[in-house]
Chain A
């Protein structure tokens, strides 16, 4: 079904008029809590015009989701809401649940963050979409018509074989497909406003690109205004027309998306831009860490809430909270900062000294580095011997890990094999960071677990510091563990909540038999090393913020002075402004302590920043490996190209010009991988090949072949393509 076949409801169009679809004014939302009232949203004002995309950006706790739930009337009853929310001229605040339910889903609809839990598990996807239609079209729409329309909608959002898939239950859909189904539900009644709350946060990058594409289709089909809420400045750069930056429950900057990215007039926005690792940076740029953490919304001190973290803060900042006022009267660019004029001056100053990044907002990034005083952690390059001369600390050769799929309760029988890791080889040398990247299900975590387990692998071999793990006895294995430590993804779950952090850090040393005096001496040293204070040792993990907890995890890993650190998505659970600080810390530790990292991540921008070499995994195999600049600058495997092109860049001008490779479908099941080249079923290059070439992809598994200096690619038809 094509977009033009969907007809808009005329009456709704007529009612819309020319005014804004949504006008939010002086919105205040507060919740009771044990510590006192939490003022989640404070005096928020914004408008969305018909067909306009407004991006709302903020970190967790900034009030961005709460404010949109207020628009939907979906806040819990204990929330106290005041101000005004007008939708097409109609006041929504104060309407009853029954009155609001006539607007929700028909004129305003919403797409939520976590597609895995957003659908009711007990009803079919088709029934849930049809429900959205039937509830607003009772009497006018028959059940059969609603069912047909559900198929059309699923087809529209790009679910293949929609007629059959409507009968599937949510658990039979992948995350990306479920998010498509939720979008289908949201556009079912041609709404005038769609609110998308972190619609792609829980998804892999290639799926994120697909879903953003679907949202664009949804916008074209319905002509609705869209509010897209995100913490990712990249996601909104190419999609939104206007941007609103929120901090501590308030709008701190708003304006045309190009202007906000190119001339941010609020230090927080500037810091956010500077804290993002750039995928498009030709050379390593310093990352701006925003020190401290967002304020508690229970009792905010007088003055600008960002002042305690702001490098430009002066005494005046603490007297009163600055209003969101115009910095450019022609464009309507607004910022809540008394020193925004000085920011403009700094940006103008650094204009000449721009180097490293070719972006439309390079000046803003330079200014961020300048203002926040970020420094690049210089590795002692001179002291570093050439790579080939450095010893190998970790060598993985043709590693294989298969899981049996069994059936039956009493008599288990094997019905299949999941090829989680299928012949993976790489090495990590001293003082080197290898980034292992790929989408969920590619086998990167299994590889990691195999390495950490120090057991004899099912196939292939693992050597740590020159010792083959299959030859180790218990004692030798324990000794090796001293030299190889791990930092986990979730900093809260990996710390025992009932242990003071001093004990957390001491534990590995106790296990390895260090004496008490040594341990007592080491704890403050380690805390200091990761940027925490020694007197924090007797506090519990719950008293720390996410970023601090991850620092504790790093301190624990460093307690035994390891040579190799295995990092499993160490920054993916952290807010952007916090993430930069942890990445800088890892950089610093590597340079100071001469560590080697095996860094597993799905965020390629972070990997580009921190890694020296990168290995890209797909369905249990490495498809491309090599020096970061080679792989990112001249990716040769179609999968790497697709992966890189899917990553949004926080630069609106560049984002709009980029050609995006959208991969079709989801990752094939690792229980039944395609023959020959495993990527061929989703490969855009494969589709363009001649029949005989195609046969080669189907029949022959491409070997990993060298494509120049430290760059290996497993593709029969490898060719470089610029995608960033």
Chain B
């Protein structure tokens, strides 16, 4: 099993390189980072444009540019943006922002999604099942573009009702906090900004996971081993959780892993709506700025996330299911 996981990991490195190269090539071909410079009024002298071209290595063939960039990446240097900022510094800050935004949301979403899924499976065709099914489909059918502002509206209403401004929904922090305030105050500050976007993410996650968990649980509900567990003397509830849910979680492992990987990078809209400067927002910005290095960096990050998720799902599977531990 260990050898298998190591081999998988090596395969994934190759895939990461391929994905990044394709993205680098595509953006290099289609982007024109000098266009902004040319549009300056008055137009800059040709020598300035040439100097910029050389600085951005645009005079070299694309594979060579990729190799130059790639070599830097190996040393932990992701190059510079078209406006001469170090990408590496920006990268870790933005990864941090994205993780802060999504880790909590995903964790809560998975937990609640599983619980609600199990609940509606156990109460199949009863009120709870109908309600959770209805809301799941409503949320699944609502784009984040709509859901986010809706949650904002609700938060605003709560603020209005309580006459406070406690819930915040733009950015990560206000920047007005006294830097000498204690950890409790800064925790409170962060929390105020985190709650609304987290609720948005959690809602979507619950809707998604609860549907899958419901059907996985229904498969297990009629199983013989659940009946054996009850025949042994477990109460129905204990048998359901200890034997039923434990087995019904196995098919969910892949979903959890990939859901995590994809959400971190798919959160473009969530980040934009709540004005969090994470990876998703950066990709949009990179494309707007016609910046190959930023685009390639985000792509590499996406590839690493997705492939790590795949790897994680293999590990999770092996942990959950003794039948494939060989």
Residue A120 interfacial (CB < 8 Å): yes
Bound together, the chains give a CA A72 to CA B224 distance in angstroms of 14
- Which one, A105, A119, A122, contacts B246 given CB within 8 A? A122
A385-419 vs B, CB cutoff 8 Å, 1 = contact: the mask equals 00000000000000000000000000000000000
A185-198 vs B, CB cutoff 8 Å, 1 = contact: the mask equals 11001000000000
Asked whether, in the complex, the Cβ of A109 is within 8 Å of the Cβ of B250, the reply is: no
Question: How many A residues, CB 8 Å from partner?
Answer: 33
For B228, list chain A residues within 8 Å (CB): 110, 112, 118-120, 182, 185
Bound together, the chains give a CA A101 to CA B243 distance in angstroms of 15
Asked whether, in the complex, the Cβ of A185 is within 8 Å of the Cβ of B246, the reply is: no
Bound together, the chains give a CA A335 to CA B321 distance in angstroms of 51
For A182, list chain B residues within 8 Å (CB): 228
Asked whether, in the complex, the Cβ of A105 is within 8 Å of the Cβ of B250, the reply is: no
Bound together, the chains give a CA A169 to CA B318 distance in angstroms of 14
Asked whether, in the complex, the Cβ of A185 is within 8 Å of the Cβ of B235, the reply is: no
Asked whether, in the complex, the Cβ of B323 is within 8 Å of the Cβ of A171, the reply is: yes
B221-258 vs A, CB cutoff 8 Å, 1 = contact: the mask equals 00111011111111111000001001100100000000
- Which one, A101, A103, A106, A117, contacts B225 given CB within 8 A? A117
Residue B322 interfacial (CB < 8 Å): yes
For A551, list chain B residues within 8 Å (CB): none
For B235, list chain A residues within 8 Å (CB): 97-98, 101
Asked whether, in the complex, the Cβ of B231 is within 8 Å of the Cβ of A72, the reply is: yes
For A97, list chain B residues within 8 Å (CB): 235-237
Asked whether, in the complex, the Cβ of B233 is within 8 Å of the Cβ of A132, the reply is: yes
For B230, list chain A residues within 8 Å (CB): 72, 74, 101, 104
Bound together, the chains give a CA A74 to CA B226 distance in angstroms of 10
Q: Nearest Cβ in chain A — how far from B208, in angstroms?
A: 24
Residue A121 interfacial (CB < 8 Å): yes
For B321, list chain A residues within 8 Å (CB): 121-122
Q: Nearest Cβ in chain A — how far from B310, in angstroms?
A: 14
For B232, list chain A residues within 8 Å (CB): 104-105, 109, 131-132, 135, 185
- Which one, A74, A123, A169, contacts B231 given CB within 8 A? A74
Residue of B at shortest CB range from A133?
B232
Q: Nearest Cβ in chain A — how far from B225, in angstroms?
A: 4
Bound together, the chains give a CA A110 to CA B234 distance in angstroms of 13
Q: A117-B224, A120-B247 are in contact. Are A101 and B229 (CB under 8 A)?
A: no
Q: Tell me the dominant secondary structure on chain B's binding face.
A: helix
Residue of B at shortest CB range from A77?
B236
Of the candidates B229, B230, B231, the one having the most CB atoms from chain A within 10 angstroms of its own CB is B231
Bound together, the chains give a CA A169 to CA B322 distance in angstroms of 7
Q: A97-B235, A135-B234, A169-B322 are in contact. Are A122 and B247 (CB under 8 A)?
A: yes
Residue A216 interfacial (CB < 8 Å): no
Residue A468 interfacial (CB < 8 Å): no
Of the candidates B229, B232, B323, the one having the most CB atoms from chain A within 10 angstroms of its own CB is B232
Asked whether, in the complex, the Cβ of B323 is within 8 Å of the Cβ of A114, the reply is: no
Residue of A at shortest CB range from B233?
A105
Q: A97-B236, A106-B233 are in contact. Are A121 and B224 (CB under 8 A)?
A: no
Bound together, the chains give a CA A118 to CA B230 distance in angstroms of 11
Asked whether, in the complex, the Cβ of A74 is within 8 Å of the Cβ of B227, the reply is: yes
Residue B320 interfacial (CB < 8 Å): yes
Q: Nearest Cβ in chain A — how far from B191, in angstroms?
A: 37
Bound together, the chains give a CA A185 to CA B231 distance in angstroms of 10
Residue of A at shortest CB range from B8?
A409
Bound together, the chains give a CA A124 to CA B323 distance in angstroms of 11
Bound together, the chains give a CA A124 to CA B322 distance in angstroms of 9
Bound together, the chains give a CA A72 to CA B234 distance in angstroms of 12
For A106, list chain B residues within 8 Å (CB): 233
Asked whether, in the complex, the Cβ of A114 is within 8 Å of the Cβ of B224, the reply is: yes
Residue of A at shortest CB range from B223?
A117
Within 8 A of B (CB), among A70-113: 72, 74, 97-98, 101-106, 109-110, 112-113
> 21 A–B contact pairs at CB < 8 A?
A97-B235, A97-B236, A98-B235, A101-B233, A101-B234, A102-B233, A104-B232, A105-B234, A109-B232, A112-B231, A117-B224, A118-B224, A119-B228, A120-B225, A121-B321, A122-B320, A131-B234, A132-B232, A171-B323, A186-B231, A189-B233
